[in-house]
């Protein structure tokens, strides 16, 4: 991945071809399709309405899932005193290098007694706060979540994937037993899989992270990983089991059923606006985005085609006769009356990845039909307007399925099975994708794998699968089936 | 208003009586009803799920309104470079004293080249960003909004009303004419009135702010003002017309229909989590909150009453026979199976202000009925369970109306008409409420009014009403009808 130039804020004239330069294609599409831009504040992005509406669709879906299982949204403070941040040793080691500090405030810009961190994640403020509300096992579990933005002082930047501010949800839960907390982490992983597969139409590998990739302070981290069109993997949500690590650091205990004090068991889990980047990179093509209907801010666009005022009036009357049906059926649609040529409008909405386009000319009006064009296959069919809302709903469902099937086929074609590190190195010299191998589990091998393969890492450990005989690195008996990839 | 002590973080045993000490009552209720607490980070609050759910209900209602009229949500950066903040002179004078500054970041806490403000409001970052997207009149209007939190380094603090971080929406719009921008400001004022009256059941005065109360940098500010149970007014949403002031400071221009460059006309408007404080102070009583059904996280609570296992089983079967109907009808309800005495449960849910309570004992189960208790009137009636969902919906609608009528009566009884400053001073020595007077409009009189009356300010100017003869301060011919109050 090449470094983007934030300063390239000029108008994007042509979208670079994906096959010519994937990274440039990505940035061009994100900007020209009006998803996001760099803000002029170094490393910080502005998310535009078309991109934000996709994030809103994701938030609504996920929020419904977690509320159904008893989670509650809170608002915890943005600023965290330094002493709070410094309590869990591994955690602070992981995050301190990325923290932005508020050190001054007020009319004279007076220096604060103690610097306040702009939250990079909220474990260290939620821990000290939540303990007030936990006395006995009857107060557990506490299932908290918040929607917010966090700041991490990244040196590299890429729209949606790596920026100094990003938007996410962070769940933090507290339990009376380790088993219950582990079940929580697994439950949430299932939600992340559903968001990726059922909503974003991106098939994912799910599994446990290797030691080197585990969240700072966690006992274990579960992850969902998708495959992008350039062959790189993208982490799309992680769910961490902390055991009693954070409870110990922040002294969060409860009186258990035997009336003894016991430290709580905690978890945290998050997914972010990088999911918008994921859908761009998993589904896009040289013409631009392809947006899954369930996430699409505009599911169908109507393009009126006419030569003169009479034609326009005819087409308009026709469209107005059935467009209220679409609205009533909850189909998110727009009629494009802009003063542009039809061909330019087609290109515009293809770039924006709108799943279905309805071309409507005077002859269509006379015939009581529209020309339906599918963004994925580009097939054109005449569709009678009788029962149009139902027909479009069916088409949108089918589109969602086709998009997932296409991404699943891509993932299958780019998933391999290899046996030695040499084979792995040779593979990634030529191409990307996921590679399954067997591994002994020796953490010291992780740095070697990464260094010798030009950046390949263990993406998931599949604890449900049986490894074959030998470790792909050292040849000793293998303990784990693991997937490898180069990743964002 | 007395200063709260943030350090009073101990358990609230008894809620102070409203008539004994309104301020203490307010804090007790907010904390004991589990709406919010101080966070331990000085001046910053934590909003708990019961309070946050009310804010979520408000956000959903308002978000639907603004989207219906074409507004779009964006995400603009949290951090604003100092040079951006410093461009509009009046604005910076208003906000600089309250800004928290990020001055260091990264592993060595390196000093940044330029300090970054944690946004106190976003005019100064949205201006420079939005101008990229505005070339011609065809790009206007730009109707932006964002949901976020902002930081203002307040020295006084009060839960929900005044804290160093609060949550809000901030709308920022850009138009091709002053008239259109002024219409926008009025449109939004109507939405704020609807949120206050139709959702929160709080009647409001609407009008224009006097010069001393106008937003820094604005040409004029419109406001909605509610009356709290202690006789103080609360500003519940403001909508600002900037004319071309911000466009001039940030050089935001467009080519108009005559193909000439012209500065845009802009607005901003916001309402915040203080609305949760408003509903506490407008409706509460000595027993705690009274929450309007449209905002209530729990609209009806079911309290099972039994003496033995047999009674419990009977009551449980009965409740389970109709509670799915409530869920299907979208009535937000909870069955309270906690191991507590019924009387304690009643007090608990009264404190939390749940509109309707359904007591259910074994005899009720046999008779196929519940005992319905209304939080507002405390009237008890037997209600047959046949058609329960429809009946409860009707009761909730009626409750919403009754609550508004009660607040409207309170407002009427506490609104007065006076003629001289001496009368005003004498009035506010004895009591609170709104006082209508006629005013000449001389800005220099505003400081005098405030000083001599112990803090009374002009809350609204009613531009639709005709003033009577003389100014209440100087006796010269009056130009305006204005409302006065002491305010939060």
Task: Give me the interface pTM, i.e. the ipTM.
Answer: 0.95
- What SS3 class is residue A338? coil
In the numeric block, which tokens belong to residue B196? 């206050």
Do A214 and A457 touch, CB atoms closer than 8 A? no
Query: Is the N-terminal amide bond of B406 cis, ω within 30° of 0?
Result: no
Query: Is residue B376 located within the same domain as residue B464?
Result: no
Distances (CA, A) of A42 to A1, A156, A336: 19, 11, 36
- Mutation for B interface: A38, A100, A128, A340, most B CBs within 10 A: A100
**CA dihedral sign, ordered A160, A166, A169, A172:** positive
Chain A environment of B53 (Cβ under 8 Å): 72-73
Query: Is residue A177 located within the same domain as residue A107?
Result: yes
Chain B environment of A128 (Cβ under 8 Å): 40
Query: For position B2, what pLDDT does the model report?
Result: 44
Question: Which residue on chain A is closest to B108 by alpha carbon?
Answer: A97
Chain B environment of A48 (Cβ under 8 Å): 74
Query: Is residue A456 located within the same domain as residue A353?
Result: no
Alpha-carbon gap: A44 to the closest alpha carbon of chain B (Å): 6
Q: Of A411, A436, A454, which one is at a domain's C-terminal end?
A: A411
Query: For position A384, what pLDDT does the model report?
Result: 96
Between β-strands B72-73 and B142-151, what pairing exists: parallel, antiparallel or unpaired?
A: parallel
- Mutation for B interface: A77, A137, A163, most B CBs within 10 A: A77
CATH assignment of the domain containing B192: 3.30.930.10
pLDDT tens column, B199-257: 999 999 999 999 999 998 999 999 999 999 999 999 999 999 999 999 999 999 999 99
Q: Is the pLDDT score of B3 beyond 50?
A: no
Query: For position B14, what pLDDT does the model report?
Result: 79
Chain A environment of B6 (Cβ under 8 Å): none
Query: Is residue A307 located within the same domain as residue A258?
Result: no
- As a three-state string, the secondary structure of B16-79 is CCCCCCHHHHHHHHHHHCCCEEECCCCCCEEECHHHHHHHHHHHHHHHHHHHHCCCEECECCCE
Mean pLDDT value across residues B41-60: 97
Do B200 and B100 touch, CB atoms closer than 8 A? no
Question: Which residue on chain B is closest to A163 by alpha carbon?
Answer: B77
Ranges under pLDDT 70 in chain A: 1-13
Question: Which residue on chain A is closest to B47 by alpha carbon?
Answer: A75
Mean pLDDT value across residues B277-304: 98
- What SS3 class is residue A193? helix
Compute the distance between CA of residue A33 and CA of residue A276 in angstroms, rounded to an integer: 12
Name the DSSP letter for residue B487: B
Number of domains forming the structure of chain A: 3
Given B49, B105, B164, which is nearest A101 (Cβ)?
B105
Q: Which residue has the tokens 């006076």?
A: B418
Alpha-carbon gap: B348 to the closest alpha carbon of chain A (Å): 16
Compute the distance between CA of residue B404 and CA of residue B397 in angstroms, rounded to an integer: 11
A78, B165: Cβ pair inside 8 Å? yes
User: Would residue A114 count as lying in a domain?
Assistant: yes
Distances (CA, A) of B13 to A104, A140, B33, B125: 38, 22, 12, 46
B105, A99: Cβ pair inside 8 Å? yes
Distances (CA, A) of B239 to A41, A70, A110, A354, B193: 27, 37, 32, 35, 11
Alpha-carbon gap: A333 to the closest alpha carbon of chain B (Å): 14
Name the DSSP letter for residue A354: -
Query: Is residue B68 located within the same domain as residue B185?
Result: yes
**CA dihedral sign, ordered B142, B147, B148, B150:** positive
Query: For position B188, what pLDDT does the model report?
Result: 98
User: Would residue A15 count as lying in a domain?
Assistant: no
Query: Is residue B167 located within the same domain as residue B255?
Result: yes
pLDDT tens column, B332-347: 999 999 999 999 999 9
Query: Is residue A130 located within the same domain as residue A206?
Result: yes
pLDDT tens column, B93-126: 888 889 999 999 988 899 999 999 999 999 999 9
In the numeric block, which tokens belong to residue A248? 């110990």
User: Would residue A6 count as lying in a domain?
Assistant: no
- Mutation for B interface: A12, A49, A119, A132, most B CBs within 10 A: A49
Compute the distance between CA of residue B231 and CA of residue B112 in angstroms, rounded to an integer: 48
Compute the distance between CA of residue B155 and CA of residue A207 in angstroms, rounded to an integer: 49
B106, A118: Cβ pair inside 8 Å? no
Distances (CA, A) of B151 to A74, A79, A255, B79, B123: 18, 9, 37, 11, 14
User: Would residue A12 count as lying in a domain?
Assistant: no
The boundaries of the domain holding residue B388 are 300-398
B107, A96: Cβ pair inside 8 Å? yes
User: Would residue A7 count as lying in a domain?
Assistant: no
Compute the distance between CA of residue A434 and CA of residue A436 in angstroms, rounded to an integer: 7
User: Would residue A289 count as lying in a domain?
Assistant: no
| H or E element in which residue A194 lies | helix A178-194
Compute the distance between CA of residue A153 and CA of residue B107 in angstroms, rounded to an integer: 9
State the pTM of this model. 0.96
B115, A128: Cβ pair inside 8 Å? no
Query: Is residue A202 located within the same domain as residue A78?
Result: yes
CATH assignment of the domain containing B382: 3.40.50.800
- Mutation for A interface: B59, B100, B130, most A CBs within 10 A: B100
Phi, psi for residue B20 in degrees, rounded to 5: -75, -45
Between β-strands A369-374 and A356-360, what pairing exists: parallel, antiparallel or unpaired?
A: antiparallel
A77, B128: Cβ pair inside 8 Å? no
Query: For position A12, what pLDDT does the model report?
Result: 63
Query: Is residue B219 located within the same domain as residue B329?
Result: no
Do B360 and B320 touch, CB atoms closer than 8 A? no
Query: Is residue B124 located within the same domain as residue B45?
Result: yes
- Mutation for A interface: B78, B124, B157, most A CBs within 10 A: B78
Chain B environment of A75 (Cβ under 8 Å): 46-47, 52, 55, 149, 167
Q: How many residues does chain B have?
A: 488
B49, A39: Cβ pair inside 8 Å? no
Query: Is residue B387 located within the same domain as residue B419?
Result: no
Mean pLDDT value across residues B309-321: 97
Alpha-carbon gap: B405 to the closest alpha carbon of chain A (Å): 32
pLDDT tens column, B169-183: 999 999 999 999 999
Distance from the Cα of residue A133 to its chain's centroid: 32
Do A277 and A226 touch, CB atoms closer than 8 A? no
Do A357 and A395 touch, CB atoms closer than 8 A? no
Query: For position B8, what pLDDT does the model report?
Result: 46
User: Would residue A328 count as lying in a domain?
Assistant: yes
Name the DSSP letter for residue B412: H
A73, B52: Cβ pair inside 8 Å? yes
A109, B101: Cβ pair inside 8 Å? yes
Q: Of B283, B314, B340, which one is at a domain's C-terminal end?
A: B283
Query: For position B6, what pLDDT does the model report?
Result: 58
In the numeric block, which tokens belong to residue B172? 């920022």
Give the mean pLDDT of chain B: 95
Given A75, A107, A149, which is nearest B97 (Cβ)?
A107
Name residue A117's beta-bridge partners: A80, A101
Q: Of B369, B398, B427, which one is at a domain's C-terminal end?
A: B398
- What SS3 class is residue A205? strand
A106, B98: Cβ pair inside 8 Å? yes
Strands in B177-264 per DSSP E:
204-208, 220-227, 233-243, 253-255, 261-263
User: Would residue B6 count as lying in a domain?
Assistant: no
Q: What is the dihedral of CA A456, A458, A462, A468, to 10 degrees?
A: 70
Query: For position B9, what pLDDT does the model report?
Result: 47
CATH assignment of the domain containing A452: 3.30.110.30
Do B130 and B266 touch, CB atoms closer than 8 A? no
Query: For position B253, what pLDDT does the model report?
Result: 98
Query: Is residue A438 located within the same domain as residue A311?
Result: no
Query: For position B450, what pLDDT does the model report?
Result: 97
pLDDT tens column, B360-411: 999 999 999 999 999 999 999 999 999 999 999 999 999 999 999 999 999 9
């Amino acid at each position: 991945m090449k470094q983007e130039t934030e300063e390239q804020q000029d108008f994007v004239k042509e979208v670079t071809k994906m096959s010519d330069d994937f990274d440039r294609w990505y940035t061009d599409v994100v900007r020209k399709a009006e998803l996001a831009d760099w803000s002029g504040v170094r490393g910080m992005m502005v998310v535009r309405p078309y991109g934000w509406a996709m994030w809103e669709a994701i938030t609504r879906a996920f929020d419904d899932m977690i509320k159904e299982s008893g989670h509650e949204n809170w608002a915890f403070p943005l600023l965290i005193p330094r002493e709070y941040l410094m309590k869990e040793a591994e955690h602070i080691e992981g995050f301190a290098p990325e923290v932005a500090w508020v050190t001054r405030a007020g009319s004279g810009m007076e220096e604060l007694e103690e610097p306040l961190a702009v939250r990079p994640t909220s474990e260290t403020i939620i821990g000290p706060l939540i303990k007030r509300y936990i006395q006995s096992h009857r107060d557990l579990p506490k299932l908290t979540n918040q929607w917010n933005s966090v700041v991490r002082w990244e040196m590299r930047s890429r729209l949606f994937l790596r920026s100094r501010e990003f938007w996410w949800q962070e769940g933090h839960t507290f339990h009376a037993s380790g088993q219950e907390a582990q079940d929580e982490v697994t439950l949430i992983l299932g939600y992340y899989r559903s968001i990726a597969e059922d909503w974003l139409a991106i098939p994912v590998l799910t599994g446990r992270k290797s030691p080197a990739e585990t969240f700072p302070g966690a006992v274990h981290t579960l992850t969902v990983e998708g495959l992008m069109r350039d062959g790189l993997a993208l982490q799309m949500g992680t769910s961490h089991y902390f055991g009693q690590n954070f409870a110990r650091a922040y002294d969060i205990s409860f009186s258990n059923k035997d009336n003894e004090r016991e430290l709580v068991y905690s978890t945290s889990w998050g997914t972010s606006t990088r999911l918008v980047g994921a859908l761009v990179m998993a589904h896009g093509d040289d013409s631009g985005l392809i947006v899954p209907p369930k996430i699409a801010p505009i599911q169908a666009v109507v393009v009126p085609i006419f030569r003169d005022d009479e034609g326009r009036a005819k087409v308009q009357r026709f469209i107005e006769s059935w467009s209220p049906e679409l609205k009533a059926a909850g189909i998110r649609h727009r009629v494009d009356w802009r003063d542009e040529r039809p061909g330019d409008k087609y290109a515009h909405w293809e770039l924006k990845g709108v799943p279905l386009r309805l071309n409507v000319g005077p002859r269509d009006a006379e015939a009581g039909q529209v020309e339906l064009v599918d963004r994925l296959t580009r097939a054109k069919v005449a569709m009678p307007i009788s029962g149009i809302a139902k027909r479009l709903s069916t088409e949108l469902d089918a589109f969602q399925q086709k998009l997932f099937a296409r991404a699943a086929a891509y993932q299958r074609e780019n998933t391999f099975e290899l046996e030695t590190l040499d084979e792995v190195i040779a593979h990634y010299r030529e191409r990307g994708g996921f590679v399954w191998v067997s591994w002994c589990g020796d953490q010291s091998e992780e740095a070697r794998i990464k260094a010798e393969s030009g950046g390949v890492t263990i993406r998931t450990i599949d604890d449900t699968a049986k490894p074959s005989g030998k470790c792909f690195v050292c040849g000793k008996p293998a303990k784990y089936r693991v997937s490898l990839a180069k990743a964002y």
